[in-house]
Structure 1
Amino acid sequence: MQNLIHYFLDTPDAAAMEQKLNALLTPNEISEMQRRLQIFALLEDGVSQREIAKQLGVGIATVTRGSRALKELKDHE
């Protein structure tokens, strides 16, 4: 994990970050990461988990997993 963290921290700007993400991840993986960020944003806006699942066309388990991950992030801030 440390190698991955340093790989991304050693990035000078957004364009270089985009290049690194495209080199490292498949288009599907990038899409999944974007969807997870959408889940985080909607949760932070107070949208219910069921509504998020409906809006994004994902399973409720996916949203619940995102909710737990977001809570863990906030607990460590």
Structure 2
Amino acid sequence: MNANKISKQITVFTIGFIGFFFLLGIVGKSDYNQEVIYNMTEMAYNVIVDSLGEGCSDTQIVKTYLSNKEYYDSLSW
């Protein structure tokens, strides 16, 4: 019985540990996306959102921006 209890505790701990790092990854990705969006020009942001559509995600915006960063950085009013 004691070995079974320890086995369950180790399993729960392992799942919790993996879940914790998974959540850290999600938060890190979100922070990264916000940092990229914050540092892009307003014109670049508006052009990207117009091309992707109003319901696009931050990840889509960042991927589009980084795929052609030189072009979007060269846009100006």
Q: Same fold (TM over 0.5)?
A: no
Which one has a bigger Cα radius of gyration?
A: 2
TM-score when normalising by structure 1: 0.30
More helix by share: 2
Where relative contact order (Cα < 8 A, 6+ residues apart) is larger, the structure is 2
